[in-house]
Amino acid sequence: MATDKVKNRLFKDIVNPVWEGFYVWGHGWPGWPERYGQFKNSTEVYAPIREIYGPVGVYYGDNGAMAGAYAAIYENPYDNRAKVTYVMSNMISEYGALALTHETTHLNDHIAYFGDYDRREGTDVEAYAQGLLQSPATQGHQGGYGALGLNMAFERENDGNQWYNTNPNKLNSREAIDRYMKGYNDTLMLLDSLEGEAVLSQGNQDLNNAWFKKVDKQLRGNSKNQYDQVRSLSDSEKAINLTSVDDLVDNNFMTNRGPGNGVYKPDDFSSAYVNVPMMSAIYGGNTSEGSPGAMSFKHNTFRLWGYYGYEKGFLGYATNKYKQEAKAASKDTLGDDFIISKISDGQFNLLEDFKKAYFKEVKDKSSHGLTTVAIDGTTISSYDGLLALFKAAVAKDAATIKTENKGNKSVSTSHTTKLKEAVYKKLLQETDSFTSSIFK
């Protein structure tokens, strides 16, 4: 994936050790010997630490059990002290492999992964690992499995029940990764379009108000940088007459599922970890004139990577690639508006315009034919065929509308999300992890 400009540095200049933790099984937690092998809770001495790791100066403590693993990172990306150390996690496990992809993102996000452009201003380290470049695993407490992600760690069966590319060994070039990301994002955009159109076709304002919520802007002090404020609809927003997916885009609405209501900051060590579930539809782009919020940052990065590829889309949006050009244009901050104009060669000035064009494109292409999938015994190969299924699923969910406290409406979306998942997984299977297009 790395650009030619930096690829050689992965082998010559950026070589980072990875240390398994010193936890010794059978001793209970912490079960972590002192520097020369003594245990806190027994008289035993652990010979490997006493004879090797302690004397040669590579011993480290248990970090108070505060992390499964952590990366030691420095401002100078060539600092040879950089490393990954495991604590609570077992390196030789699925979660351990996930942790490795997380921590090595921290080590490589200055140069190797980012084409030497560095992180985008207004973000920080945790905006890039979980929910973006970390490989999702079935194990773990972070809720990342089924959220946006790229699998670069695990081989799985192409059995129609997978969320991600099944064999990372096939993603052996930037072109192969870009092909996968195109099919991946085409599919998610198609499904979001189907869900939105199916809901709005019911002509039920109570349903709309229960189904959607708002992605708003929260400015950071006096700057143009912003956070995402995910919240319930206001009374005025509940009165909006929604007739098309474009209306959902223009109003920066998303489905009333995860991520939950709250403020998402790409520069902290809490909300920056946010995962964006694949089955949650974020219709707008929440275009910023500076740095975006954490949720929008991850969502927009994937969509732009999918449509424009790694060099143009990913590097253009997620890094400081256009920082100097923004300065030359008298911009105090590097905003989404400036970036989308650069990436699209002036075609779009707002992410919302890009999203509307992308939604139209996937609908138009799928109207001419889709990869055939069988859903509950029904064979489907077109947008209209899928739309009929989605309308039926939404109608079933609409029957669950109820009134909560303060008169707010709520609704289950279980039939629709189940259908969405089934179609996604079938398209992933039938295209062999999007090695071929979903469109005919």
Q: pLDDT tens, 309-351?
A: 999 999 999 999 999 999 999 999 999 999 999 999 999 999 9
| pLDDT value of position 323 | 98
Q: Give the catalytic positions in this structure.
A: 103
In a domain, 403, yes or no: yes
In a domain, 14, yes or no: no
Residue 60 has pLDDT above 70, yes or no: yes
pTM attached to this predicted model: 0.95
Mean pLDDT for 253-262 is: 97
In a domain, 273, yes or no: yes
Q: Which domain holds residue 288?
A: 117-440
Per residue in 115-129, pLDDT (tens digit) is 999 999 999 999 999
Instruction: Provide the CA 152 distance to its chain's centre, in angstroms.
Output: 14
In a domain, 197, yes or no: yes
In a domain, 110, yes or no: no
Amino acid in position 15 = V
The residues pairing with 379 across neighbouring beta strands, listed in sequence order, are 374
| pLDDT value of position 283 | 99
Mean pLDDT for 285-298 is: 98
Of the pLDDT bands very low, low, confident and very high (cuts 50, 70, 90), residue 18 is very high
The closest alpha carbon to 136, from 176, 111, 105, belongs to: 105
Per residue in 219-249, pLDDT (tens digit) is 999 999 999 999 999 999 999 999 999 999 9
Per residue in 139-197, pLDDT (tens digit) is 877 789 999 999 999 999 999 999 999 999 999 999 999 999 999 999 999 999 999 99
Mean pLDDT for 279-293 is: 98
The closest alpha carbon to 391, from 419, 369, 421, 357, belongs to: 419
Count of beta carbons in the 10 Å neighbourhood of residue 261: 11
Read off the DSSP letter of residue 60: -
**Among residues of the chain, what percentage have pLDDT more than 70?**
99
Structure tokens at 424: 């996604």
| pLDDT value of position 240 | 98
Domain count, the chain: 1
| pLDDT value of position 6 | 87
